[in-house]
């Protein structure tokens, strides 16, 4: 789901995002949603506008069956929470049938459709198909990024999602830009939603805001973590380190998957198992646990993306509705706090390597990686920038999910703060990318002082890649464009693409499987 900030708002759209490889939209490509098999990578691709969506036949059947239960409840005048009552503290108040048009919360569109596709929400097929049409036409509502406590899900953000679909508030489309929601819908031949019984709460309960932000954070964390290993290897080469610390036997006796994988990646980049290293012997352990953290969070989030988080839930097979707490955001909130802590370590280690590169007493290279020091300051301030980002991230790593404020007149007596956990995690991931971009530039600059000696083939390919967007640092100039260019390489995973074929060749020599396309 493409998520971008705009005057403190999150816009669900396909305007801008740079996660993973860029592709162009093929309007004939569809991703089928069934509520059970959406992956994090798929959700990010949907956000980038790479696919239209459609419901599977099975999902349509489940939606219709659940809706029949709701229609029966209304026909029989039974009082059921969220169907023909108010919400939260107003649950005891019966609402007349003609007042059941509830303007409530909304969420990120594709993920909300996937949840509805599970068939436990009781929302009508007409409403779900209207949401699918809006998605495929890229009619996308304003969604505020702040204001959710993650208790009954992301009520306020999801309400804004639904508000636009109802023709209220503001909406964006490629043809109209930002405009009145009703105007945007009409421009695309779409009719504003008129909500039926149960559909108000059915569209606003759930963890889709925090989960969609989490999907972006996890996808970017995967990309930056594997590229961190490549950048660390570049720094090791520039510092003329050796690689015995990456020997496979060392890691076989402490067999954490991430640690073993990082050591293997570093061996594949440095092509040696045999010589002692006293410079970066801790890289594979710290990078390794970051990888394992990301994998754990990815597992939690994948389950969450395909979970029924509505309330009450409709079990069509026995014609029953049950109120529960699946909307609570504690699972993604706790996982996102863990993600921030785990991925931050990549930046913490990177900043220390950059310090070693720019410090002549440790690197035996020119001070701050520039000739004519004093006249030129070289990478002095770039390292300060990295240190500032690392320090800021330390504060952001304080877990938000340990906090709770009672809301909704104590109906929500414990909240998850998952929305803030998601936004913090995303900010930390961005800081990690920026800190590693600075190290990438510094390591490539350090290699310039070791010429005409050459590094390994994969690392030389990475150096060549960087030099296509940033020239060597021979005298002081504005550095922010260089850092932004290196950051873009990392966001688009170009560093990974440059080194990966040679890493696969190394694995092939060992009889190991090639690296997966989507880790």
Q: Which residues are catalytic?
A: 81
Beta bridge partners of 151: 153
Distances (CA, A) of 23 to 304, 485, 492: 27, 20, 11
Per DSSP, the residues of 133-167 read HHHHTT-EEEEESS---SBSBSHHHHHHHHHHHTT
The answer, yes or no, to whether the previous bond of 366 is cis (omega within 30 of 0) is: no
- Could you please report the per-residue DSSP string of 449-474? TTTT----HHHHHHHHHHHTTS---S
List, in sequence order, every residue forming a beta bridge with 412; answer none if it has no partner. 407
Query: For tokens 């996937």, what's the residue?
Result: 114
The Cα–Cα gap between 181 and 187 comes to: 10
227, burial (CB in 10 Å: exposed 0-12, middle 13-18, buried 19+): buried
Nearest-angstrom CA–CA distance, 461 and 56:
44
The three-state secondary structure class of 101 is coil
Is the separation of the CB atoms in 382 and 350 below 8 Å? Answer: no
Q: Beta strands 52-55 and 30-33: pairing type? A: parallel
State the sign of the Cα–Cα–Cα–Cα dihedral 384, 385, 389, 392: positive
CB contact at 8 A, 138 and 173: yes
Sequence-ordered list of residues with C-beta below 8 angstroms from that of 14, at least 6 positions apart, any chain: 2, 25, 47, 48, 49, 138, 140, 174
Please, what's the largest Cα pairwise distance for the chain? 86
């Amino acid at each position: 789901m493409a998520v971008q900030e705009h005057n403190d708002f999150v816009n669900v759209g396909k305007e801008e995002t740079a996660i993973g490889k860029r592709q162009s939209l093929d309007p004939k490509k569809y991703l089928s949603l069934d509520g059970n098999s959406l992956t994090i990578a798929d959700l990010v691709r949907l956000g980038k506008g790479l696919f239209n969506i459609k419901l599977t036949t099975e999902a349509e059947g489940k939606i219709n069956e659940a809706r029949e239960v709701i229609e029966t409840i209304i026909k029989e005048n039974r009082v059921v929470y969220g169907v023909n009552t108010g919400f939260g503290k107003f649950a005891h108040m019966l609402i007349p049938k003609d007042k059941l048009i509830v303007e409530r919360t909304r969420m990120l569109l594709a993920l909300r459709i996937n949840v509805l596709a599970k068939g436990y929400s009781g929302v009508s097929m007409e409403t779900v198909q209207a949401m699918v049409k809006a998605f495929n036409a890229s009619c996308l509502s304003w969604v505020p990024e702040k204001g959710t406590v993650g208790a009954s899900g992301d009520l306020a953000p999801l309400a804004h999602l639904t508000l636009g679909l109802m023709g209220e508030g503001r909406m964006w489309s490629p043809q109209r830009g930002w405009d009145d929601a009703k105007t945007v819908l009409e421009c695309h031949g779409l009719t504003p939603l008129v909500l039926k019984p149960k559909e108000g709460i059915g569209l606003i309960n759930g963890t889709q805001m925090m989960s969609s932000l989490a999907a972006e954070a996890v996808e970017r964390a995967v990309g930056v973590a594997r590229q961190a290993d490549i950048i660390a290897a570049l720094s090791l080469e520039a510092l003329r380190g050796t690689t015995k610390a990456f020997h496979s036997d060392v890691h076989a006796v402490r067999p954490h998957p991430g640690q073993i994988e990082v050591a293997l990646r570093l061996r594949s980049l440095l092509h040696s198992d045999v010589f002692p290293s006293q410079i970066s012997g801790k890289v594979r352990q710290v990078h390794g646990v970051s990888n394992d953290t990301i994998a754990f969070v990815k597992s939690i989030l994948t389950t969450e993306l395909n979970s029924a988080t509505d309330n009450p839930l409709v079990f069509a097979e026995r014609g029953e509705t049950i109120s529960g707490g699946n909307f609570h955001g504690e699972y993604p909130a706790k996982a996102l706090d863990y993600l921030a802590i785990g991925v931050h370590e990549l930046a913490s280690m990177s900043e220390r390597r950059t310090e070693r590169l720019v410090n002549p007493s440790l690197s035996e290279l020119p001070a701050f990686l520039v000739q004519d020091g004093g006249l030129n300051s070289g990478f002095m301030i770039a390292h300060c920038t990295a240190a500032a980002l690392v320090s800021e991230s330390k504060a952001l790593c304080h877990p938000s999910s340990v906090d709770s404020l009672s809301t909704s007149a104590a109906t929500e007596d414990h909240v998850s703060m998952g929305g803030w956990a998601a936004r913090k995690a995303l900010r930390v991931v961005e800081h990690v990318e920026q800190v590693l971009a600075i190290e990438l530039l510094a390591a490539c600059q350090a290699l310039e002082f070791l010429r005409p000696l050459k590094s390994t083939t994969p690392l030389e390919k990475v150096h060549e890649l960087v030099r296509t967007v940033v020239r060597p640092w021979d005298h002081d100039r504005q550095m922010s464009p260089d850092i932004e260019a290196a950051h873009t390489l990392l966001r688009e995973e170009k560093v990974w693409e440059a080194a990966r074929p040679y890493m696969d060749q190394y694995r092939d020599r060992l009889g190991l499987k090639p690296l997966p396309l989507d880790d």
